[in-house]
Structure formats: C-alpha cells, structure tokens
Amino acid sequence: MVKLQRVVKPRTHKAKLALENREPKLIENTKTALFLHGHNTSELTRRCLKDLFALKRNFAKHMHQKNKIMPFEDIVPLEKFAQQYDSSLFGLINHSKKRPHNLILGRMFDYHLLDMVELGLEQYKSLTDIPGTKVSVGTKCCLVFCGPDFESDEKYKRLKSLLLDFFRGVEATSLRLQGFEHALFFFLNEGKLYIRSYKILFRKSGMRKPRVELMEIGPSSTMTIRRTKFASKDLFKRACKEPKKLQPKKKKNISKNALGTKLGRVHMTKQDIDNLQTRKVRALKSDKKSKSPAGVGTDL
C-alpha cells in the first residue's frame, strides 16, 4: 500500500506567503543559519556559538535549549529543525570527554544534509576578550584563505566551499570602499584551522588611495579538523546546478582567446570581382594604335 504525502494548504494569507517564500526561486534568498546546543556544552563552545551568531545576526536563529542531537550518528532530527526554520546552514556545539569543545558546521540541500565538518576548539578569544571598536552589524566581510591545501586537496576544497557559504552573507554586485571594513582570515596548516578577524582601517597616505591597516577585533580561534562528512560528487553537482534561465546565452561567432581578448567572426557574401570598380589610371587605358596585329605595317 502506497502512502500518499499530505499536501499542506494554507488557510491564511500569512501562511500562503510563508509557503511561497520556501518555494524554489531563480535567485535564492540569502542563506540563514540555525545555531543549536547539544546535550552537553562547555563555556568555550557557548562563547564561540554566541560570536558566530553575532557575525550572522541578520540571517540566523539561535536555539538556547539543549537537544540530544548527534549529527554524525543520526542527522534526521537536525534535518527536521532545518525544515521547520527554513535554514540552509547550521552550527551545533557539544562537549564530551572523547571530543572536548566540539563545534560542528554544516549545510543542507533541499532540507537534507549536504556537507558537514567537525572542529575541535583548542584556543579561543571572543569578541569581548579583545578590546577596541567592532564593525557594525550586517557588514559584508572579505574572506581570505591562506594555505596550499585549500587548492590542492579535495577534502579542504570542500571545506573552503563550506566556509564561503557560511560567512559570505548577502551577495553584492558592487561595494563601497568606505563600507568595506571587516576581513576574515582562514589559515590551514598541518590539519589545523586558524581563524582571525580584523577590522579594516583606512588611513591618510598623502595620495589618492588610502593606506590600509588591520586591527584584530575577534573572534580568534585555533581548531583541529576532526570528522568530516561530504556529499558525493553526483549530489554536489546536483546542488550546484544552475537554472537554464540564469545561464548566459551563448553568442554566435564570438569567442575569447587564452588572454581574454574577445574575437568575432564576420561572415560575408561572395564578391563579384569582375564588376569591381577600380581606380581609372591613364597608363591602364587601351591604345587604339596598339590594336593592329604585331608585325604588320601600314601602306605608304
């Protein structure tokens, strides 16, 4: 016996708008993050989760109650929370003797797990531990990745993609230089991930371009990469598939070379060279006297 899935019909206008907002779109909304607490947490992980929520305050939901969720053993409860709160990203903290100060970051595709990584906090400085002025809420940050493994190792390539998805925020087509004031640095070395946060300061340089300085504002953390769970190549390719309507239309007879120069091919009809008008020159005019046969003289 086949059980049919129940179709939810909205009863109010507000519910109808909420369901329409969850439907697939050509241009998706900014991804929201869901932050959760495990069954047991430590003071270090709670401070870390609080700072992550502060970085994504406009697009995040923080659940303070404890949950018996172990994503690497059973992901179903977390997928239900993601569908309930319409979240594509999640951050979960827990603490145990086997895995102390544990932070799990992940992302969903169609409310099912896509990628997930488990990080162990070794050293951490929160926003309050580092004195100084902070950046304003909602500021788009510059993400900098340092380390050859981010480009050479397939595992760390997927980690870089996950961190980009988690911290990129609102997609912007143009940026104002004065509003560009936050930078996040990710350093990868020998299986450890170093995250540093800086405020970008523009000082007078005596020239048209300002002098750029970096001031550390926190959070600052050193993490070890523990367990990972990444999607298969087929699922990841499906998640990254772009709708046909958003794909740029290919223009005929236009190509680019290795240097990026645009080249165009022009097709022309066949020209009639026989009737081609040329420049009239006296030397090319035919002489009437030269029309007589060669070697034949005139009568005297």
Which of 20, 115, 109 minimizes the C-alpha distance to 71? Answer: 115
- Amino acid found at 209: K
Q: Which residue has the higher pLDDT, 253 or 4?
A: 253
Give the angle 94-194-134 at the CA atoms, nearest 5°: 90
**Is-contact 117 159, C-beta < 8 A?**
yes
Q: 152-198 pLDDT, tens per residue?
A: 899 999 999 999 999 988 887 777 777 788 999 999 988 899 999 99
Q: Which domains does the chain have, with CATH numbers?
A: 28-233 (3.40.50.10480)
Residue 69 tokens, joined: 């969720």
Strand partners, 194: 187, 222
Give the angle 120-121-122 at the CA atoms, nearest 5°: 115
Q: What is the pLDDT of residue 26?
A: 76
Choose the weakest-confidence range: 101-115, 117-131, 232-246.
232-246
Most confident of 167-171, 220-224, 253-257, 291-295: 220-224
Whether 247 shows a pLDDT value over 50: the answer reads yes
The values of phi and psi at residue 104, to 5°, are -115, 125
Q: What is the pLDDT of residue 246?
A: 77
Residue 196 tokens, joined: 């540093």
Q: Is 53 helix (H, G, I), strand (E, B) or coil?
A: helix
Q: What is the pLDDT of residue 44?
A: 94
Q: What is the pLDDT of residue 79?
A: 93
Q: What is the pLDDT of residue 125?
A: 93
Q: Which position has the token pair 């598939």?
A: 241
**Is-contact 117 225, C-beta < 8 A?**
yes
Q: What is the mean pLDDT of residues 113-117?
A: 95
Q: What is the pLDDT of residue 197?
A: 93
Q: What is the pLDDT of residue 300?
A: 43
Q: What is the mean pLDDT of the chain?
A: 85
Q: What is the mean pLDDT of residues 240-266?
A: 83
Q: What is the pLDDT of residue 290?
A: 54
Q: Which position has the token pair 């143009």?
A: 174
Cβ neighbours of residue 220 closer than 8 Å, sequence gap 6 or more? 123, 124, 125, 130, 195, 196, 197
Q: What is the pLDDT of residue 2?
A: 47
Q: Which residue has the higher pLDDT, 206 or 283?
A: 206
Q: What is the mean pLDDT of residues 245-260?
A: 82
Q: Which residue has the higher pLDDT, 180 or 261?
A: 261
Q: What is the mean pLDDT of residues 57-65?
A: 90
Which of 187, 218, 215 minimizes the C-alpha distance to 54? Answer: 218
Q: 66-111 pLDDT, tens per residue?
A: 999 999 999 999 999 999 998 999 999 999 999 999 999 999 998 8
pTM: 0.77
Residue 3's pLDDT band, with cuts at 50, 70 and 90, is low
DSSP conformational letter for 97: S
